[in-house]
Amino acid sequence: MDVSGELQSVVLQSKAQTGLCHVFLRHTSASLLITENADPDVRRDLEHFISRLAPDGDPAWLHRMEGPDDMPAHIRSALTSSELTLPIRDGQLALGTWQGVYLWEHRTRPHRRRMDVTIIA
């Protein structure tokens, strides 16, 4: 899920012209990602890659408390990131032309996710 717009709104509300936007995801089965925002195939390919590294339902996983995607989601989260720090320039997130910030869900069913956003000006 693209969260770039939500983060940009927080930056605008802060009125910070220069600084940092720190984003922390309060979950262990999802992650934050900066990646290409032009071609959705990039995100599909990333999903395919990480699901090969930590497949759902692998009999090797002992932790299955919430289903066959439980442990793989924790592994995927551990391999990626639960926080990002982004520069703020001229009152805007200083992302590259083709960059977007995404909340990457690692569970098969949707979950409500919470992010803490801190602006340092």
Under 8 Å between Cβ of 80 and 33: yes
Phi/psi of residue 115, nearest 5 degrees? -120, 140
- Residues 92, 14: Cα–Cα separation, whole Å: 11
For strands 18-25 and 83-89, give the pairing: antiparallel
User: Where are the domains positioned within the chain?
Assistant: 4-120
Report the pLDDT value the prediction gives residue 65, as an integer from 0 to 100: 87
| Contact present, 71 and 83 (Cβ < 8 Å) | no
Each residue's pLDDT expressed in tens, for the chain with a length of 121 residues: 999 999 999 999 999 999 999 999 999 999 999 999 999 999 999 999 999 999 999 999 999 888 899 999 999 999 999 999 999 999 999 999 999 999 999 999 889 999 999 999 9
pLDDT for position 21? 98
Alpha helices in the chain (DSSP H): 4-14, 40-53, 70-79
Quick one: fold of 4-120? Answer: Jelly Rolls (2.60.120)
Instruction: Using alpha carbons, select from 91, 94, 120 the residue that is nearest to residue 12.
Output: 91
- The torsion defined by the Cα of 88, 47, 114 and 121, in degrees rounded to 10, comes to -10
